[in-house]
Structure 1
Amino acid sequence: MSDPRLPLLSTGELLRSIVGKVTEIRAREYAVMQEIAELNRRGAAAELGYKTLPQVLRHALRWDPTTARRWVEQAVLLSSEITPTGNELAPALPATAAAAAEGALSLDHVVAVAEAMKTLPAEAETLLVDRARDFEPAEVRSFGADLAYRLYQNDPEPRDPEPEPAGNRLTLRQSKTGDWKLAATMDAVTGAKFATLLDPLAKPRPTTAEGPDPRSRDERQGDALAELIDLTLRADTLPEHGGEPVALTLTMAYEALAEQTGHAVLDNGERIPADQVRQLACAAGVIPMVMGSRSQPLDVGRRSRLFTAGIRRALVARDHGCAFPGCGRPPKHCDAHHIQHWADGGDTRIDNGVLLCRHHHTLIHRSEWAVKMEQGVPVFYPPAWLDPLRKPRRNLLHTAA
């Protein structure tokens, strides 16, 4: 609801009011950073069962990872340190801390000053802070770069570093349309091996009555890579993942498979039309997971602490990835976790198991987060410090799958 007094204020009064309120907000942000720094000093992350303080703030404040990490980094820069003997050390950026406490600098200003000070002597901080009081963060960065140039322009030019040997790197991303985009860099030996495998599969098809092979070289190499992947899945020896050889799992209802209608779901949540399922299911390394089938034992009781391949496939079909609320990690990045620990008498069965990525698996073991099975699905309960009511939460990211 709008304030009825606002139309009565002049433009100048409105702007002065905005400046005053933003200054108050910035001063409050500095106070928050001091509290974050205190949490960091006392090792609150370990106390709560988390690996790092930014992870705690992500849950407590619903910040994304970059925001949480930035707040912690700036809090450490702007806060004093207490030595083991009880002495207080000044902040790494004392002039910046003083200006931030006044509300003169935003968090973006602090980041800009901190970045510039990485290449400048301590006495340059006051110049940067004075600049930040009058200009936006981008100008502070430009001013810092100009200061560095003027300070070091007479230094000898640095020698270009010797190029390091290229390592093996692969970037694999899925687009919104479902296609995958791949870019890779290989060392000389690995590249030669890959080319040797690809070359015979990428040769042009023999000329037929329809003419020569119409595919371009890139298209032929793309088709060759697809064929190479199929050959690898049919290999006798494959690396293990989750206790069984690498495999692609297709999940669909038994009725849909019998009637050849609907679709199946891959490990990563992608849908495959029913008419393609039978063809894929014929390939080694592709496992059809039919909901309602009784061919896999889903309860081995106390006979084994480790989840069998069949139970893990059923967990993948149910959870579709890490079941922790808000986590989008796929099944291949997950461990199978006993909800009631095996050491405490818990059986190894599907309704006592849940898929968790390594980070959230560790968190469940070390923190006050709890997980229970309710109506056949895993439900998580946050610690009381995060939610005093401990309201149940589910991972809705995988629900659509």
Structure 2
Amino acid sequence: MIEQNFSLLATGELLKAVVEDVAEIRVLENAVMRKIADLERRGAAQELGYRTVAQLLRHAVRWDLKTARQWVARAEVLAREVTPSGAVLEPELPATAAAAAEGALSGEHVSAVAEVMKELPPEAEQPVVEFAREHEPSAVRSFGKELAYRLYQRDPEPGEAGQPEPGNRLRLAWKGDQLELWARLDRATGAKLEALIDPLAKPRPATPEEGPDPRTRAEREGDAFADLVDLVLRSDQLPEHGGEPVTLTLTMPYRDLAEQTGFARLDNRERVPATLVRRLACNAGVIPVVLGGRSESMDIGRKTRTFPAAIRRLLVARDQGCSFPGCDRPPKHCDAHHVRFWSQGGETSVHNAALLCRHHHTLVHRSEWEVKLRNGTPTFIPPSWLDPTRTPRTNTTHHATRTAA
């Protein structure tokens, strides 16, 4: 066979050749699915000692079992059935079978059409197939959902016809030092949570200091969920627990806190590293309990002393969002940070505070970035490895005319 030199083809000709080849592949796929359906019909799996045709194909053509099952499912949708009397019945999805035989639909298209037709009446197959001829499988699924909504939008809402919507489910389980969550939410609640998470999970803007956001989508959504927890803790409409709004209590010896060694205990007896306690101590809704040498309580912080609403309003008016250079997070996504750490005697006041988003709040506590207030402006001094001159920087995102003192 002589190898063709595709570089001699014009771009349009090359693309046309690809389209034609794909159509031929789809025709061949359809023929394969018809043969698989015949294997199923004649009981080939049992004849050869396998439980199912999918398991037979797994070994015969070295498919993953998931892939084999997909091919078998598509074959069942497209195949004609023969009754014991010899009568031939039309395929389950005749319009889909005809389009697949022409090479107009791929196996993925067939799966998408079969999926959406589970929620649609038979007369809807033709418009769905016509749409599939012009669009990718994911678009077919979206089209099917929209079509189902339009067809059934006058039907009673879940619960109106005596069929209550499945309840919400949530499980929490500690695995080592991490809490794992599993949730199943009804459509309305899920949509609310998605709407809350989405704006918080946007990639952070690229900055000269940090470059582009390196987090994966899962990491961004995980951090967004943590931000959401912080927002809830700052709410003035929290449920009560033991007669007061929900709070989190951290207990640890003062020396450990000052030296950032050891750990604190939470209400649920879980341990938190001292390096994390400093950041948590800034947050509303967190009560720090510091113990002396004989474990007596030296100081019990109160929510009203941990950046109360009046101070926070002043910080919002002054900083207008996260004060870290280049960050555009708005005030509602920010903590009030003690410039001089609370564990080192820093007071809870406007003159010792700066708004920081969760990411930069953690960064300041864990890294060599220094924060100072200069003429009422939060000013950040970068680590020497980032800037050997350690030139002070400020956030000009919220204040275009602001410069470092």
Please report the TM-score for the alignment, with normalisation by the length of structure 1. 0.43
Please report the TM-score for the alignment, with normalisation by the length of structure 2. 0.42
- Of structures 1 and 2, the one with the larger relative CO (CA 8 A, separation 6+) is 1
Structure number with greater Rg is 2
